[in-house]
Homo-oligomer: A and B are copies of this chain.
Amino acid sequence: MFTLHKTDEHTQARLGTLKLAHGDVQTPIFMPVGTVGSVKTMVPEDLHGMGAEIILGNTYHLYIRPGLEVIREFGGLHGFVNWDKPILTDSGGFQIFSLANQRKIDETGAHFQSHLDGKKIHLTPELAVEIQETLGADIHMVLDECTAGTATYEEARRSMRRSMRWAARSRAARTRTELAQFGIVQGCMFEDLRTESIESLTAMNFEGYSIGGLSVGESKPDMRRITKHCCDRLPQDKPRYLMGVGTPLDLIESIAVGVDMFDCVMPTRNGRNGTLFTSKGRVNIKNTRYRLDKGPLDENCKCYTCQNFSLSYLRHLFMAKEYTGQRLLTLHNLTYYLELIREIRAAIAAGTFHELLKHHQGLWES
Interface residue ranges, A against B (CB under 8 Å): 36-45, 61, 65-66, 69-70, 73-74, 80-82, 291-292, 294, 304, 308-310, 312-313, 316-317, 319-320, 322-328
Q: Are A38 and B70 in contact (CB under 8 A)?
A: no
Which listed residue (B37, B319, B323, B324) contacts A317, Cβ 8 A?
B37
Given A82-B308, A313-B82, A323 and B320 contact (CB-CB distance below 8 Å): no
In the bound complex, how far is the Cα of B128 from the Cα of A77, in angstroms? 53
Closest B residue by C-beta to A62: B316
Q: A41 — which chain B residues lie within 8 A by C-beta?
A: 323-324, 327
Q: A80 — which chain B residues lie within 8 A by C-beta?
A: 310, 312-313, 316
Q: Are A304 and B37 in contact (CB under 8 A)?
A: no
Q: A37-B320, A80-B310 are in contact. List 13 more A-B contacts (CB 8 A).
A: A36-B320, A37-B316, A37-B322, A40-B322, A41-B323, A41-B324, A43-B304, A70-B291, A73-B292, A73-B294, A81-B313, A323-B323, A327-B327
- From A41, A80, A320, residue with most partner B Cβ within 10 Å: A320
In the bound complex, how far is the Cα of B292 from the Cα of A80, in angstroms? 10
Pairs A–B under 8 Å by Cβ, sample size 24: A36-B316, A36-B322, A37-B317, A37-B320, A37-B322, A38-B317, A40-B323, A41-B327, A43-B324, A44-B308, A61-B320, A65-B320, A69-B292, A70-B292, A73-B292, A73-B312, A74-B310, A80-B310, A80-B312, A80-B313, A81-B313, A82-B309, A323-B326, A323-B327
How far does the Cβ of A115 sit from chain B's closest Cβ, in whole Å?
12
Q: Are A328 and B43 in contact (CB under 8 A)?
A: yes
